């Protein structure tokens, strides 16, 4: 019975959390060197199964292209490990002898890791590695639509970690995924932090659970082609991104915005490279498949090829079409082309100037995807800097494919499959989430002065003189701490000068 499955799922969660708490208490005693050895072993095990797990994910979900999922798995394992292998996350991180401060990295404990169906195996690798690097236990909560490939990835990681000396149960996975079980996991009092990667509803649930959470919002990044851009290169990068794993990475471009003066060149180049511009009638037919009646993305289009989507919509497109492009003039919740589309569909906007393109990009982002990612193709540094100053995104990607740039494969950003959207996007971080986001920092602060020193350096309440000028009684020890201070009446300017001198002196202690 379904009721029994819910109860079994909740009980499984309780057992997993209890096991994880005990394992993490043991793991927290490990040195960074021991943890690094375990991370390396897990990375090597993942490397040996990149293709196998990519094919499993593709077969089970029907999303994307398995060859591209191999690269995603490499990003989640090898590239992630290489990015943090020399990083210090636990123990003493920093010691400032002059200021008498010590910083200690402290794991957050048990991490609840929600895994999406779009990037299932790669996200398990990535989240497991950043948890193990930072001294945490992880409980993997799989999307039901990708359960088998996620479980297989978990087993490979757990075995590798244990063989390298990690405590048993430091990596675990839910085997009976239900909404009730997920709710119990998110709200369990022994969860240290939630890593939420998935749909908007799931992310909101994580933030309302009562536990700390790092979640991400939807992507809906426009890509602006400015008049100074290398247009063939810009189109190539956009299409490379939008067709990579059939557009299932949330940092992939969702719209092209360009200037009217180069419109014809952009259109011609897009057609030359495999873009098909939909007629108004064809746009209407395809548009019906993009969103469901409840306003959310239709899972039937996610990770599907342009040809598969055209077939569903009942339209005919040229053989070899890579991306479907729909000319648009409006932005809104009721316009599916102006929203996130995790497949090879792009909206196409033409504006009179780069300033108008800037406004259009902001409009698109505030419609959906604010705080996430956008791309710009330009050789004009002044325009790029204006976009950097004005756009409500956490990642402005310049002259690169959005999907691969956002996750750190084609840029110097940290490799990550959880991309923070910052406060504007309702996220607790704007980072590409990594190990340092999964620790607290304990600060050890030695005393640098006594109460008498602080009193000696502080202005006493101001009082008015008979002449109407403001005078200040100020005690200042001009010799050494602890001796009796001299009291005198000073002007405001005198007080400010003395205060600066005292603060400078204290900062040198």
Query: What confidence tens digit (pLDDT) does each residue in 454-489 have?
Result: 988 877 644 444 444 444 444 444 444 443 344 445
Q: How confident is the model at residue 308 (pLDDT cuts 50, 70, 90)?
A: very high
DSSP letters, 48-89, are TTHHHHHHHHHHHH--S-HHHHHHHHHIIIIIHHHHHTT---
Give the span between the Cα atoms of 380 and 359, in whole angstroms: 18
Give the span between the Cα atoms of 153 and 52, in whole angstroms: 10
What is the CATH architecture assignment of 2-216+435-444?
3-Layer(aba) Sandwich (3.40)
If residue 458 lies in a helix (H) or strand (E), which one and from where to where?
none
Name the residue with tokens 């993997």: 140
Give the Cβ contact number of residue 354 at 10 Å: 22
pLDDT at 3: 60
Residue with tokens 């369990």: 188
Tell me which of 250, 358, 400, 421 is the catalytic residue: 250
Local confidence band at 40 (pLDDT 50, 70, 90 cut-offs):
very high
| For the chain, domain boundaries | 2-216+435-444, 222-410, 451-507
What is the rounded end-to-end Cα distance, in angstroms, of the chain? 70
Looking up tokens 């793991």, which residue turns up? Answer: 27
Q: Does the structure show a pLDDT above 80 at 509?
A: no
CATH of 222-410, one of 3.40.309.10, 3.40.30.10, 3.30.70.930, 3.90.1010.10: 3.40.309.10
> If we measure between CA atoms, which residue out of 404, 335, 353, 397 comes closest to residue 372?
397
Cα–Cα dist 475/472, whole Å:
10
More confident residue, 466 or 298: 298
Topology agreement, domain 2-216+435-444 and domain 222-410:
no
Neighbours of 486 (CB within 10 A): 12
Q: Cα dist. 197→136, 379, 418 in Å? A: 18, 34, 6
Q: Quick one: CA dihedral 426, 430, 432, 436, positive or negative?
A: negative
Q: What is the mean pLDDT of the chain?
A: 91
Cβ proximity of 244 and 401 under 8 Å: yes
Q: What is the mean pLDDT of residues 85-95?
A: 97
Please tell me the distance from the alpha carbon of residue 462 to that of residue 487, in angstroms, as a whole number: 14
250 as an active site residue: the answer is yes
CB 139 within 8 A of CB 20: yes
User: Could you say which DSSP state residue 508 is in?
Assistant: T
Q: How far apart are CA 309 and CA 246, in angstroms?
A: 11
Q: How confident is the model at residue 197 (pLDDT cuts 50, 70, 90)?
A: confident
Sequence-distant (6+) residues with CB within 8 A of 441 are 93, 103, 104, 105, 106
108 Cβ partners below 8 Å, 6+ apart?
A: 134, 136, 192, 193, 212, 438, 439, 440
């Amino acid at each position: 019975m379904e009721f029994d499955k819910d109860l079994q799922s909740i009980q499984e969660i309780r057992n997993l959390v209890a096991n994880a708490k005990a394992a993490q208490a043991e793991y927290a005693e490990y040195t960074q060197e021991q943890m690094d050895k375990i991370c390396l072993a897990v990375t090597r095990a993942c490397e040996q199964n990149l293709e196998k797990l990519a094919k499993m994910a593709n077969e089970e979900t029907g999303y994307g292209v398995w060859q591209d999922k191999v690269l995603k798995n490499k990003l989640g394992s090898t590239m992630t490990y290489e990015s943090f292998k020399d990083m210090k996350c636990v123990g003493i991180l920093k010691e400032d002898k002059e200021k008498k401060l010590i910083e200690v990295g402290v794991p957050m404990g048990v991490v609840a890791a929600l895994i999406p169906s779009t990037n299932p195996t790669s996200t398990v690798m990535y989240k497991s590695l950043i948890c193990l690097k930072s001294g945490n236990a992880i409980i993997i909560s799989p999307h039901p639509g990708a359960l088998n490939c996620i479980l297989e990835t978990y087993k490979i990681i757990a075995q590798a970690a244990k063989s390298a000396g990690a405590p048993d149960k430091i990596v675990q996975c839910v085997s009976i995924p239900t909404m009730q079980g997920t709710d119990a996991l998110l709200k369990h009092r022994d969860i240290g932090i939630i890593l939420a990667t998935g749909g908007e509803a799931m992310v909101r649930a994580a933030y309302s659970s009562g536990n700390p959470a790092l979640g991400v919002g939807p992507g809906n990044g426009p890509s602006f082609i400015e008049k100074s851009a290398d247009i063939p290169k810009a189109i190539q990068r956009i299409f490379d991104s939008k067709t990579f794993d059939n557009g299932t990475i949330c940092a992939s471009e969702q719209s092209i915005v360009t200037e009217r003066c180069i419109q014809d060149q952009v259109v011609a180049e897009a057609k030359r490279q495999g873009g098909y511009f939909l007629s108004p009638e064809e746009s209407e037919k395809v548009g019906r498949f993009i969103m469901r009646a409840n306003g959310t993305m239709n899972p039937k289009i996610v990770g599907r090829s342009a040809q598969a989507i055209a077939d569903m919509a009942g339209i005919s497109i040229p053989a070899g079409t890579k991306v479907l492009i729909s000319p648009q003039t409006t932005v809104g919740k009721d316009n599916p082309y102006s929203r996130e589309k995790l497949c090879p569909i792009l909206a196409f906007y033409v504006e009179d100037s780069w300033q108008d393109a800037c406004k259009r990009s902001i409009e698109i982002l505030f419609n959906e995807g604010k705080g996430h990612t956008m791309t710009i193709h330009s050789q004009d540094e002044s325009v790029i800097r204006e976009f950097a100053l004005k756009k409500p995104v956490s990642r402005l990607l310049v002259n690169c494919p959005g999907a691969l740039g956002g996750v750190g494969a084609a840029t110097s950003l940290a490799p990550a499959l959880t991309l923070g959207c910052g406060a504007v996007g309702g996220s607790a971080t704007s980072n590409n989430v990594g190990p340092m986001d999964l620790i607290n920092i304990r600060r050890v602060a030695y005393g640098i002065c006594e109460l008498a020193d602080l009193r000696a350096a502080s202005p006493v309440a101001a009082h008015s003189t008979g002449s109407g000028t403001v005078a200040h009684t100020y005690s200042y020890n001009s010799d050494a701490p602890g001796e009796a201070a001299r009291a005198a009446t000073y002007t405001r300017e005198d007080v400010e000068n003395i205060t600066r001198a005292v603060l400078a002196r204290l900062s040198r202690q």
